[in-house]
Amino acid sequence: MSHANKVLRSINYDGETICVDIFRRPDGTFGFDEFRRDFEDGKGWFVIGFHGHHVFATEQAAMSQALKTIAWLKGAL
């Protein structure tokens, strides 16, 4: 995900090592992706979902697709 994207919502899975970000791109479209971090390696978050290329017209549409795509997400809300 480009640093120019603005994260609107970040939902963490239990343990805070996996998260889903819902974001807005500079062009006004929306997207989501799934990330992971390992505290012991110190490198921060890295993409594991590879969903960030999908484009949605609204934040709600991106969230709806994220809920359908990422199995653990619904239980984290």
Instruction: Provide DSSP, 17-58.
Output: SEEEEEEE-TTS-EEEEEEE--TTT----EESS--TT--BSS
Its pTM stands at 0.84
Chain-centre distance for alpha carbon 11: 8
What pLDDT digit, counting tens, does each position of 1-59 carry? Answer: 447 999 999 999 987 889 999 999 999 999 999 998 877 777 778 788 888 899 999 99
Cα–Cα distance measured from residue 18 to residue 70, given in angstroms and rounded to the nearest whole number: 11
